[in-house]
Amino acid sequence: MEKETIKKAVEHYAFQTGKRLNPKAVLFDMDGVLYDSMRHHARSWMEISARHHLLAEEKDFYLWEGQTGAGTINALFQRTFHRDATEAEKQDLYAEKAALFTRYNDGNPMPGAADVLRVVRSFGLQRVVVTGSGQRSLLDKLEHSFPGCFSTDKMVTAFDVKIGKPHPEPYWMGLQKAGVAPHEAIVVENAPMGVHAGVAAGIFTIAVNTGPLSDADLQKEGAHLLFPSMDALAHSFPLLMDVIHFT
C-alpha cells in the first residue's frame, strides 16, 4: 500500500475524532481475521436454515457476521415468518448451529495472521481478541495457534458482551481490558458489522477483506484502511507505524 494512502487515512482519523492516533493496543476480531473459519460458519448456518425452512443465502452470513447468534436467527425468522424468534427457538437453533460448526471447523489460522501478530508484538503493542464467539476454551485454541500472543484477561467474548456488534460495546470492552483510550488502539476486522462497531467506538479501524463480500461493503461502514489479506496487512504494518510516528 502507498505511503500517501496511509497518511491520508491517519489524517482523516485525526480530523474525524480530534485526536492524534497513538496506538498502544491492537484489538483483533477472531473469525475471518485470526482464523479462516467463516466458510465453516456459513456452511453451518446454511444447513440450519435448510433444516428449519428459513430463507437464506450464503452471503447473508458474511453480511451479518459479528452480530450475536440470536440476532442472526431473529433476522432469518423475520425474513421468513415475519415474526421474532422465541427465546427457545433462538437457543435450540444456536445449539444446533454450534454443533455443526464444531464438526466442520478445521481450526486453520488465517494465512498471514501469525505474521501480523509477530509485527504487532515487535512494536510492543498489546494484543486483545474481541469476538462474539462463545466457544469454550478459546484461550487454549489461541495459545495453540499463536503461542504467547494472547492472555485470558485480554479477551472479550460472547460471555462478556450483552449487545454485540455492530454496537460499539464489544470494542469499548476491549479498550477497557487494554486500559487504553480509543485513539490509543487499532481494530482489525473482516466484517461490515465489525467495522461499524470499531468506527462507532472511535477507533482507527482496519478492514481485511478475507471473504466473498465487495470492498465497498466494508468501506461504506467507515473502514479507515482496507487490505486484501492479513499478509498484505503484515507487510504494510511497519509503514503504518512509521507514518503514525513521523507525521
Where on the chain is the footprint of Ca ion (CB under 5 A)? 29, 31-32, 190-191
Q: Is 12 helix (H, G, I), strand (E, B) or coil?
A: helix
Closest CB to Ca ion among 21 and 208?
208
In the residue annotation, 29 being an active-site residue is answered as: yes
Task: Give me the least distance between CB of 221 and Ca ion, in Å please.
Answer: 13
In the residue annotation, 217 being an active-site residue is answered as: no
Q: CA-to-CA distance for 101 and 85, rounded, in angstroms?
A: 21
Phi and psi dihedrals of 174, rounded to 5? -60, -40
Phi and psi dihedrals of 88, rounded to 5? -65, -45
What element of type H or E holds 37? none
Closest CB to Ca ion among 191 and 197?
191
Task: Give me the least distance between CB of 72 and Ca ion, in Å please.
Answer: 13
- All residues at 6 or more sequence positions from 219 whose CB lies less than 8 Å from its CB, including other chains: 207, 226
Task: Give me the least distance between CB of 165 and Ca ion, in Å please.
Answer: 9
Q: CA-to-CA distance for 81 and 192, rounded, in angstroms?
A: 25
Catalytic residues: 29, 31
